[in-house]
Structure 1
Amino acid sequence: MRFAVRVKPGSRRARVGGRWPADGAALVVAVAAPAVAGKAHDAVRRALAAAFGVRGQDVLIVTGDRGRDKVIEIDPAPDDAAATLDRLLADAG
Protein backbone atom coordinates (compact mmCIF):
# COMPACT_ATOMS: atom_id res chain seq x y z
CA MET A 1 0.00 0.00 0.00
CA ARG A 2 1.37 3.42 -1.00
CA PHE A 3 0.17 6.88 -0.04
CA ALA A 4 1.40 10.48 0.18
CA VAL A 5 2.26 12.24 3.42
CA ARG A 6 3.14 15.80 4.41
CA VAL A 7 5.60 15.95 7.32
CA LYS A 8 5.59 18.71 9.93
CA PRO A 9 8.87 18.36 11.85
CA GLY A 10 9.50 20.16 15.13
CA SER A 11 5.88 19.94 16.31
CA ARG A 12 5.01 19.96 19.99
CA ARG A 13 3.93 16.34 19.82
CA ALA A 14 3.74 13.49 17.35
CA ARG A 15 0.39 13.20 15.60
CA VAL A 16 -0.92 11.41 12.51
CA GLY A 17 -4.12 12.75 10.97
CA GLY A 18 -5.62 15.30 8.63
CA ARG A 19 -5.15 16.21 4.97
CA TRP A 20 -2.60 18.36 3.16
CA PRO A 21 -3.75 20.60 1.63
CA ALA A 22 -7.11 20.72 3.39
CA ASP A 23 -8.84 19.24 0.32
CA GLY A 24 -5.90 17.09 -0.76
CA ALA A 25 -4.92 13.48 -0.47
CA ALA A 26 -1.69 13.67 1.54
CA LEU A 27 -1.82 12.46 5.15
CA VAL A 28 -0.35 14.90 7.69
CA VAL A 29 2.32 13.46 9.99
CA ALA A 30 3.55 15.82 12.70
CA VAL A 31 6.65 14.77 14.64
CA ALA A 32 8.51 16.41 17.50
CA ALA A 33 11.91 15.52 16.04
CA PRO A 34 13.72 18.24 14.10
CA ALA A 35 14.56 17.82 10.42
CA VAL A 36 18.24 17.19 11.25
CA ALA A 37 20.39 14.11 10.66
CA GLY A 38 17.45 11.87 9.78
CA LYS A 39 15.70 12.32 13.13
CA ALA A 40 12.38 13.42 11.60
CA HIS A 41 12.66 10.66 8.99
CA ASP A 42 12.87 7.99 11.70
CA ALA A 43 10.12 9.63 13.77
CA VAL A 44 7.78 9.59 10.73
CA ARG A 45 8.33 5.86 10.27
CA ARG A 46 7.66 5.20 13.97
CA ALA A 47 4.52 7.37 14.04
CA LEU A 48 3.06 5.71 10.94
CA ALA A 49 3.92 2.24 12.22
CA ALA A 50 2.02 2.98 15.43
CA ALA A 51 -0.94 4.47 13.56
CA PHE A 52 -1.27 1.46 11.26
CA GLY A 53 -0.34 -1.18 13.84
CA VAL A 54 2.70 -2.49 11.97
CA ARG A 55 6.40 -2.83 12.71
CA GLY A 56 8.63 0.16 11.98
CA GLN A 57 10.59 -1.86 9.42
CA ASP A 58 7.35 -2.38 7.45
CA VAL A 59 7.11 1.39 6.79
CA LEU A 60 9.27 2.49 3.87
CA ILE A 61 9.85 6.00 2.57
CA VAL A 62 9.75 5.53 -1.20
CA THR A 63 10.32 9.15 -2.26
CA GLY A 64 10.97 12.42 -0.47
CA ASP A 65 13.96 11.59 1.72
CA ARG A 66 14.95 15.25 1.92
CA GLY A 67 11.61 17.00 1.73
CA ARG A 68 8.37 17.36 3.64
CA ASP A 69 6.34 15.65 0.93
CA LYS A 70 6.90 11.90 0.88
CA VAL A 71 5.43 8.73 -0.57
CA ILE A 72 5.16 5.96 1.99
CA GLU A 73 4.79 2.24 1.43
CA ILE A 74 3.56 -0.17 4.07
CA ASP A 75 4.55 -3.71 3.19
CA PRO A 76 2.97 -5.94 4.23
CA ALA A 77 -0.10 -3.81 4.73
CA PRO A 78 -2.63 -4.97 7.32
CA ASP A 79 -6.07 -5.96 6.06
CA ASP A 80 -7.63 -2.78 7.44
CA ALA A 81 -4.93 -0.41 6.08
CA ALA A 82 -7.22 1.34 3.57
CA ALA A 83 -9.88 1.94 6.23
CA THR A 84 -7.22 3.20 8.65
CA LEU A 85 -5.88 5.62 6.04
CA ASP A 86 -9.38 6.93 5.34
CA ARG A 87 -10.01 7.43 9.06
CA LEU A 88 -6.69 9.25 9.54
CA LEU A 89 -7.28 11.51 6.53
CA ALA A 90 -10.70 12.46 7.95
CA ASP A 91 -9.21 13.27 11.39
CA ALA A 92 -8.78 17.03 11.29
CA GLY A 93 -8.40 17.14 15.02
Structure 2
Amino acid sequence: MADCLPLRTLDDNNTILTVRVTPKSSKDALDAIAKDDADRAFLKVKVRAVPENGAANKAVCKLLAKELGLAKSHVRLHSGETSRLKQVLISARLEDIQHKLLNALRG
Protein backbone atom coordinates (compact mmCIF):
# COMPACT_ATOMS: atom_id res chain seq x y z
CA MET A 1 0.00 0.00 0.00
CA ALA A 2 2.93 2.36 0.64
CA ASP A 3 3.63 2.62 -3.08
CA CYS A 4 0.13 4.01 -3.75
CA LEU A 5 0.49 6.83 -1.21
CA PRO A 6 0.31 10.34 -2.73
CA LEU A 7 3.83 11.25 -1.59
CA ARG A 8 6.94 12.39 -3.41
CA THR A 9 10.37 13.48 -2.30
CA LEU A 10 11.24 17.16 -2.72
CA ASP A 11 14.75 16.70 -1.27
CA ASP A 12 16.39 14.56 1.42
CA ASN A 13 14.46 16.14 4.28
CA ASN A 14 11.23 17.34 2.65
CA THR A 15 8.24 15.45 1.31
CA ILE A 16 5.22 16.60 -0.69
CA LEU A 17 1.81 15.11 0.13
CA THR A 18 -1.14 15.59 -2.24
CA VAL A 19 -4.46 16.09 -0.45
CA ARG A 20 -8.05 16.82 -1.45
CA VAL A 21 -9.79 18.88 1.18
CA THR A 22 -13.44 18.80 2.17
CA PRO A 23 -14.08 21.91 4.29
CA LYS A 24 -17.13 22.47 6.52
CA SER A 25 -17.16 18.80 7.46
CA SER A 26 -18.66 17.42 10.66
CA LYS A 27 -15.19 16.48 11.96
CA ASP A 28 -11.47 16.85 11.32
CA ALA A 29 -10.14 13.57 9.93
CA LEU A 30 -7.87 11.84 7.48
CA ASP A 31 -10.30 9.86 5.37
CA ALA A 32 -8.69 7.59 2.76
CA ILE A 33 -6.45 7.40 -0.26
CA ALA A 34 -8.32 7.89 -3.53
CA LYS A 35 -7.53 8.53 -7.19
CA ASP A 36 -8.88 11.07 -9.65
CA ASP A 37 -9.95 10.40 -13.25
CA ALA A 38 -6.34 10.76 -14.39
CA ASP A 39 -5.30 8.02 -11.92
CA ARG A 40 -3.45 10.47 -9.62
CA ALA A 41 -3.56 9.54 -5.95
CA PHE A 42 -4.50 11.94 -3.15
CA LEU A 43 -5.33 11.78 0.54
CA LYS A 44 -8.89 12.80 1.35
CA VAL A 45 -8.89 15.16 4.33
CA LYS A 46 -11.96 16.52 6.10
CA VAL A 47 -11.85 19.65 8.23
CA ARG A 48 -14.53 21.58 10.09
CA ALA A 49 -13.03 24.94 9.12
CA VAL A 50 -14.58 27.04 6.38
CA PRO A 51 -12.62 27.83 3.20
CA GLU A 52 -12.28 31.52 4.01
CA ASN A 53 -9.13 33.51 4.77
CA GLY A 54 -7.01 30.34 4.73
CA ALA A 55 -8.82 28.77 7.70
CA ALA A 56 -9.29 25.39 6.01
CA ASN A 57 -5.66 25.34 4.86
CA LYS A 58 -4.46 26.02 8.40
CA ALA A 59 -6.76 23.31 9.73
CA VAL A 60 -5.39 20.79 7.22
CA CYS A 61 -1.79 21.53 8.22
CA LYS A 62 -2.64 21.36 11.91
CA LEU A 63 -4.47 18.03 11.47
CA LEU A 64 -1.65 16.51 9.43
CA ALA A 65 0.95 17.60 11.99
CA LYS A 66 -1.08 16.04 14.79
CA GLU A 67 -1.78 12.78 12.94
CA LEU A 68 1.85 12.41 11.82
CA GLY A 69 3.30 13.33 15.21
CA LEU A 70 5.15 16.38 13.90
CA ALA A 71 5.52 19.96 15.07
CA LYS A 72 3.05 22.33 13.38
CA SER A 73 5.99 24.22 11.91
CA HIS A 74 7.00 21.09 9.94
CA VAL A 75 3.78 21.04 7.89
CA ARG A 76 2.79 23.87 5.55
CA LEU A 77 0.92 24.48 2.35
CA HIS A 78 3.14 24.24 -0.74
CA SER A 79 0.56 24.93 -3.47
CA GLY A 80 -3.18 24.97 -4.13
CA GLU A 81 -4.18 27.72 -1.73
CA THR A 82 -7.66 28.17 -3.25
CA SER A 83 -8.05 24.71 -4.78
CA ARG A 84 -9.54 21.58 -3.22
CA LEU A 85 -6.45 19.69 -4.41
CA LYS A 86 -3.38 20.87 -2.52
CA GLN A 87 0.29 20.05 -2.16
CA VAL A 88 1.47 20.05 1.46
CA LEU A 89 5.16 20.35 2.28
CA ILE A 90 6.23 18.17 5.20
CA SER A 91 9.69 18.67 6.69
CA ALA A 92 10.52 15.00 7.12
CA ARG A 93 11.94 12.13 5.09
CA LEU A 94 9.64 10.26 2.73
CA GLU A 95 10.19 6.92 4.47
CA ASP A 96 9.22 8.38 7.85
CA ILE A 97 6.06 9.97 6.45
CA GLN A 98 5.02 6.76 4.68
CA HIS A 99 5.14 4.82 7.92
CA LYS A 100 3.36 7.48 9.97
CA LEU A 101 0.68 8.07 7.34
CA LEU A 102 -0.10 4.36 7.02
CA ASN A 103 -0.43 4.11 10.81
CA ALA A 104 -2.70 7.16 10.93
CA LEU A 105 -4.96 5.76 8.21
CA ARG A 106 -5.20 2.38 9.97
CA GLY A 107 -5.87 4.30 13.14
Alignment TM-score, normalising by the size of structure 1: 0.82
Partner of 1:66: 82
Return the match for 1:83 from 99, 103, 106. 99
1:50 aligns to 2:70 (yes or no)? no
Number of residue equivalences: 91
Contact 2:68 2:104 in 1 (8 A): no
What is the DSSP-based 3-state SS (H/G/I as helix, E as strand, rest coil) of the residue aligned with 1:26?
strand
Partner of 1:28: 44
Return the match for 1:6 from 6, 20, 28. 20
| Residues 76 and 60 of structure 1: CA distance in aligned 2, closer, same or farther (over 3 Å) | same
Contact 1:6 1:20 in 2 (8 A): no
Q: Distance in 2 between matches of 1:82 and 1:24?
A: 17
Structure with higher strand content: 2
Q: Distance in 1 between matches of 2:75 and 2:32?
A: 19
CA RMSD of aligned residues (A): 2.4
Alignment TM-score, normalising by the size of structure 2: 0.72
Deviation at 1:87, TM superposition (A): 4.4
Q: Find the structure with the greater CA-based Rg.
A: 2
Identity %: 30
| Residues 54 and 77 of structure 1: CA distance in aligned 2, closer, same or farther (over 3 Å) | farther
Deviation >6 Å, runs of 4+: none
What is the DSSP-based 3-state SS (H/G/I as helix, E as strand, rest coil) of the residue aligned with 1:12?
coil
Structure 2 residue ranges without an equivalent (≥5): 1-14
Contact 1:54 1:78 in 2 (8 A): no
